[in-house]
Amino acid sequence: MAEGATQALAGGRTIPSSEVPFERDAVLRALGYRPNKTRASEASLAAVEQGMRQAAGLLHPLVLYADAALQCVGPDAMLRVPSLDLHWRSPALTAMLAGAERVTVFAGTVGAAIGDAARAAMQRGDYALGVVLDACGSAAASALAERARHEAEAWARARGCRVTAPYSPGYRDWDIADQEPLLRAIEARRIGIRTSDSHYLLPEKSFCGIVGWIRGLAEAPQASGCAICFLPGCRYRRMPPVGDPGTLLPAIPGRG
């Protein structure tokens, strides 16, 4: 992942790009590689390596955070973050944040260059390179999101708190339109993140969400990611599906 892209941002904290490992496994997974099943040819692996090398120079990771006190008010359990002028009404979110005193709001991106390069490769007929670059962007964005969660967790632990699983607008009953105020609250435009009219994050390889802080250190981590997702037939699943199928959809982009 490219160095030097992060910068100190007032009101938040940043993650150095060097601390966001760019995992080959994740790239392969995003490309539909199936362990013990796929038989990758040398040429295809070479394309992956080539794409990863190119991608390393195209990724410009940036993350923003803001911590603030959380209030749960009213009979319908509306959540409010007064200092950031945020308020949400989502039973699922309220359940997720049960017991939380504070939240960390975060947003991150690996930049637009990787998506542009993937598109350009497809247009000139370098199809394999195009899909690999796209997968690299997705893998990097996922890694960055994971790193952001760890950073928030460490920040909270240092203050005697544990954190909830990360959660994003669009999950379950949390309105995806709530991305806009969330991004606005932490001034995500400073790192180039915005939304389209149809609530897509731009650049494509971007994310945003929150984690709640709960007083006291946890005995066991909360489930998140694939563990709480039941999308049938998802080829990006990292673990066997458990529980009842629901209507959750993947929030991290990567296919279109």
Partner 1 sequence: MSEATAGVAGLRAPEIGAQPRNPLPRALRPVWDGHILIADGAMGTLLQQQGLPPGGCPEVWNLERPEVVRRIHEAYIDAGARLIETNTFGATRLKMDAYDIGDRVAEHTRAAVEIAFAAAAGRAAVAVSIGPLGHLVEPLGEISFNRAQELFYEQTSAAAAAGATLAIIETMLDLQETRAAIFACRDAGLDTIVQLTFNQDGRAFTGTEPEAAVVVLEALGAGVIGANCSLGPEGLRAVVQRMARVASVPISVQANAGLPRLEDGRTVFPMGAEEYAGWGPRLADAGASIIGGCCGTSPEHTRLLARSLQGRRLPGLSFRDERLPTLSLASRMKALFFFDENLPVVIGERINPTGRKLLSRDIRTGAMQLVRQEARDQVAAGAAMLDVNCGVPSIDEAVAMARAVTVVQDAVDVPLVIDSPGPDVLEAGMRAFSGKALVNSFSGEEDRIERVLPVAARYGAAVLGLTLDEGGLPQTAADRLRIAARLVREAERVGIPRQDVVIDCLCLTAGAQQDAARATLEGIRLVKRELGCATSLGISNISFGLPERTFLNAVFLTMAIQAGLDMAIVNPLDLRLMDVVAASRVFSYRDIDSRAYIQRMTPRKLVHTLDEAEVLLRKAGVLATAPAPAAETGGDGDRAATGGGSNALQASTSPAKRPTAAALARQQAQAGLVKQTGPDPERIPKDALLRKLYDCIVEGDKDGIQEQLEKALGRGDNPVVLLNGALIVGMEEVGRLFGDGTYFLPQLMLSAEAMKRAFARLKPELQKLKEGQTEAGTVVLATVQGDIHDIGKNICAVMLENHGFRVIDLGRNVKNDLVVAAAREQHADVVGLSALMTTTMPQMKRVIEMFKAEGMDIPVMVGGAATTRHFAREIGAAGYGRDAQEAVAEAKRLVGG
Q: Where along the sequence are the contacts to partner 1 (CB under 8 A)? A: 24-25, 28, 31-45, 47-48, 118-119, 122, 125-128, 130-132, 134-135, 170, 176, 196-200, 202, 204, 232-233, 249-250, 253-256
Amino acid at 68: A
48 by Cβ neighbours in 10 Å (0-12 / 13-18 / 19+) ranks as buried
Min separation Cβ 248 and partner 1, Å:
10
Tokens representing residue 125 in the block: 């007929």
CB of 234 to partner 1, least distance (A): 9
Return the number of other C-beta atoms located less than 10 Å from residue 21's C-beta: 12
Smallest gap, in angstroms, from Cβ of residue 70 to partner 1? 26
**Are the CB atoms for 109 and 186 separated by under 8 Å?**
no
Q: Which of 35, 75 has the CB closer to partner 1? A: 35
CB of 171 to partner 1, least distance (A): 11
Least CB distance to partner 1 at residue 225 (A) = 16
Min dist CB 254 to partner 1, Å, is 8
Check residue 196 and report its DSSP letter.
Answer: -
Q: How many CB atoms lie within 10 A of CB 125?
A: 8
Output 78 or 226, the one with its CB closest to partner 1: 226
Q: Are 211 and 171 in contact (CB under 8 A)?
A: no
Nearer to partner 1, 9 or 231 (CB): 231
Q: State the Cα–Cα distance between residues 92 and 45, nearest whole angstrom.
A: 42
What's the rounded Cα separation, in Å, for the pair 22 and 24?
7
Token pair recorded at residue 55: 């991608």
Nearest to partner 1 of 9, 122 (CB atom): 122
Q: Are strands 100-109 and 86-88 parallel, antiparallel or unpaired?
A: unpaired
Cβ closest to partner 1, residue 209 vs residue 253: 253
Q: Taking the complex as a whole, how short is the minimal distance between the CB of residue 141 and partner 1, in angstroms? A: 13
Instruction: Between 155 and 250, name the residue whose CB sits nearer to partner 1.
Output: 250
Task: Pick between residue 176 and residue 228 the one whose CB is nearest to partner 1.
Answer: 176
DSSP-derived 3-state class of residue 217: coil
Contact predicate 163/104, CB 8 Å: yes
Helices of type H across 104-252: 113-123, 127-157, 179-185
